[in-house]
Structure 1
Amino acid sequence: MSSLTFKLIFSYRIFIYLLVFILFPILLFYKSSISRVKQYNDEFLSKKSTDCIKGLSILVIILHHISLKMQPIGFMAIYTCFGHIAVSTFLFFSGYGLMVSKLRKENYLKNFFSKRLSKVYLPFVIINGITIVIAALVLHAKFNLKDVLLYLSGIQLIDSTQWFVIAILVFYLCFYICFKFFKPIIAQHILLFLTFVYFFFMIFTGFREWWFNTAFSFPIGVYVAINYTTISNFLKKNYILTLIPTLIGFLVFFALAHMIPSSIMPLYQTITSVIFVLLVLLFLLKFKISSPPLLFIGAISYEMYLVHMKVLVAYFTAVHIKGSYSVYLYLVLVVLISFAFNKLFNLSKNKKVKVT
């Protein structure tokens, strides 16, 4: 579906520029506070902080996909480079969240797959099923039984942007194997090794770079969770000495990854993703993010990831508004649909809990 060829041609782009260069920064810093000199945010990886960053990241991913469709692209060209660094935050927080839960809950790995599948894979299958039905009834698309099974399962992607779902399930499997059979101090290194295996497998089997250029963010999240005290103390003690080379390194590799054509650009993108994760940590150490809109969006970020491209294709195919303010209407629609799915999935989980 996401492979459908269409271009977004706006008669004027002022509203989308206003959104991404003014409203987004305001949204990020709304009700946020900055720590004083030599003081830090001790809750920099709290659920509130991570949900806010997830909320901003999904908005960046959506604008990234919009920018890829715009013609002419104008100042939105910079957003074509932001997709992988936004995804890297999702993988980092996934690894971090899993490890924190594992450390706090003795029997966390019990029923691990049933919990992960119900949270990640089942919504994926349900939304794929709805997409198939709508495509068949409205767009008169033809699907045989084989197509339906392949698209439902994710063996073949009806929406190519959903590669992330398959990738995260692979990382969940690696996480389970490592921490089921080994102690954390050893398991974290085995997980990193498996990530290298995944990285090179994707390269040598011909997968596109987005399948692997953010991969190392997941084990980094696990490392940070296991070594939280050591890492946070080091960053606080050496904040400026860490911030300056990290920022310079990010800018250098970001330029190499996107502005200077090279056969090893995916490698530069991978390094950029890793450095960006460190930048996020340094940012959160100083800024306490408490934006209510971002908290709300962060809570439904996964559903937004699943539906945004489908809605993008349907919306801009059906709606022919030339002003870029149409993007605002599109985002509202994505949020409403995602919120509805989130409530549906949570209702289903609650019923299962009550039955058991």
Structure 2
Amino acid sequence: MPITLTDDIFRTNLIVIAILIAVVLFTFSRTKRIDLFPIPVTQELKGLGILTVVFAHFAYMLVTNADFLFPLSIIAGVGVDLFLFMSGYGLTVGMLKKPLPLMDFYKRRAIKIFIPFWVVTILIFAANAIFLNIHYPVPYMLQSLIGWFPTARGFDDVNSPFWYITWMMMFYILFPIVFSVKKPWLSALILAVIATLIGVYNPLELGDNWLHRLHTVAFSLGMVFAWILFETKDKENKFVTAFKKFRDESTFMSYVVILLMLVLVVYMSLHTTANHWPLLTSILGQGYFVDQLTSIVIMFAFIVIFILKKFDNKFLAIYGIYSFEVYLIHWPLISRYDIYFDILPAWAAVTAWIITFIVVSWLLQKITTPLGAWIDNRLAK
């Protein structure tokens, strides 16, 4: 059940923000990267994305005070879009470099995603039954194991953030079917149209469809971004060359752009809903289109900042490396097995959980990575 805090919320928020800023600042190092959008940058963005989701789940699901962790908690939608964007980007880059047959693509994705997902889901079902005497109907457990989560009920579903698993699977299933090496932009458009139609009309009668319709285009935007940035050894990408030249040679202007993007992030983060944009809402017709648009604007502002910055951040990178595992385990732990909020001040409890998520995710990856490799080897024989 939700926790009622007796702590001074304003003081708690300041302490958590101060700790987070200190950790981020002390884990900066001058970058050695040359590429425009290398893996370290994508990992940092994934780390940022999962942290926005975690903070929002603390604030809006675990506790009864929505002011908790403000303003860290207000852009979870941006985090979800970052994950979808990175998925579309990564899959497109991979297919442009080395197209995979349909079944090979599915096998690789299934091993990477479903092995840790299955391990966590089975452990949650078992732990809830053994320690909490919470039992789920067999049909519910079976549909969960195949990734079908039509609802996102915080304390009723086995893991309410798993609504994202169902939505992500839709993109992963359709991606290799519609993908064209010659026209990735067209593939992206097709997926965006399909996702928008499903989000708007809800033909599958998903119980919490409002979540899906807020995130219909980010995956496709990642595909388009990969197509725009793609280059080969024998063919120069003039856009990439110009952007890298601006980043590397125009130091002052780079910092000006970063500052402007930060201002945009702050302003848009405080004006994310359709209520803040009545004119835009009247043009687009539906408030959730406006909500999605504001999230996309913030997401791209972050992407520009991370591309232009001349420093790497170890903290965000670590959270990015374990972002999928943190996503899988964080809500079951804090919603059903919390001990920190009972014995520690709220700011210390949040800090303890942020550390715990990484430790548990590291252990989970130590189990699932060799397991996935073993299964891959068996399937290859």
TM-score computed with the length of structure 2 as normaliser:
0.78
Q: In the alignment, which residue of structure 1 is the partner of 2:367? A: 344
- Measured in 1, the distance between the counterparts of 2:219 and 2:126 equals 34
Q: CA RMSD in A?
A: 3.2
Matched, 1:313 2:335: yes
1:118-197 to 2 correspondences below 5 Å: 118-156=111-149, 158-179=158-179, 182-185=180-183, 187-197=184-194
Paired amino acid for 1:332: I
Paired amino acid for 2:107: S
Structure 1 residues 8, 114: CA separation in 2 closer, same or farther (over 3 Å shift)?
A: farther
Instruction: Give deviations 1:307-329, integer Å, cap 9, x for gaps.
Output: 10000112337851351111222
Quick check: 2:47–2:318 contact (8 Å CA) kept in 1? yes
Matched, 1:9 2:31: no
Paired amino acid for 1:141: I
Matched, 1:111 2:96: no
Paired amino acid for 1:98: L
C-alpha deviation, 1:42, in angstroms: 4.4
Q: In the alignment, which residue of structure 1 is the partner of 2:50? A: 58
SS at match of 1:227: helix
Q: In the alignment, which residue of structure 1 is the partner of 2:212? A: 211
Q: Which moved more, 1:247-256 or 1:114-123?
A: 247-256
Quick check: 2:178–2:190 contact (8 Å CA) kept in 1? no
C-alpha deviation, 1:334, in angstroms: 1.9
Structure 1 residues 144, 249: CA separation in 2 closer, same or farther (over 3 Å shift)?
A: closer
Paired amino acid for 1:210: L
Paired amino acid for 2:55: L
- Measured in 1, the distance between the counterparts of 2:363 and 2:24 equals 24
Instruction: Give deviations 1:44-90, integer Å, cap 9, x for gaps.
Output: 41111111221222122111110113343446343442100111111
Structure 1 residues 26, 89: CA separation in 2 closer, same or farther (over 3 Å shift)?
A: farther
Instruction: Give deviations 1:91-112, integer Å, cap 9, x for gaps.
Output: 1111111111112224475610
Matched, 1:47 2:39: yes
Quick check: 2:188–2:221 contact (8 Å CA) kept in 1? no
Question: Tell me, which stretches of 5 or more residues in structure 2 are unaligned?
Answer: 150-156, 230-236, 247-252
C-alpha deviation, 1:341, in angstroms: 0.9
SS at match of 1:76: coil
Aligned residues: 343
2:351 is aligned, of 324, 328, 331, to 328
C-alpha deviation, 1:128, in angstroms: 1.3
Q: In the alignment, which residue of structure 2 is the partner of 1:257? A: 273
- Measured in 2, the distance between the counterparts of 1:249 and 1:329 equals 28
Question: Tell me, which stretches of 5 or more residues in structure 1 are unaligned?
Answer: 36-40
SS at match of 1:255: coil
TM-score computed with the length of structure 1 as normaliser:
0.83
Paired amino acid for 2:111: S
Quick check: 2:185–2:223 contact (8 Å CA) kept in 1? yes
Paired amino acid for 1:52: E
Instruction: Give deviations 1:233-274, integer Å, cap 9, x for gaps.
Output: 565669778995996598358615176497843212210122
Q: What is the percent sequence identity of the aligned residues? A: 18
Q: Which has the higher contact order (CA 8 A, sep 6+)?
A: 1
Instruction: Give deviations 1:118-163, integer Å, cap 9, x for gaps.
Output: 1112322221111111111111123332232123223245222111
Quick check: 2:189–2:220 contact (8 Å CA) kept in 1? yes
- Measured in 2, the distance between the counterparts of 1:335 and 1:163 equals 22
Quick check: 1:247–1:279 contact (8 Å CA) kept in 2? no
Q: Which runs of 4+ in 1 moved over 6 A?
A: 236-243
Q: Which moved more, 1:150-159 or 1:161-170?
A: 150-159
Instruction: Give deviations 1:198-231, integer Å, cap 9, x for gaps.
Output: 1232222274332132331111111111111455
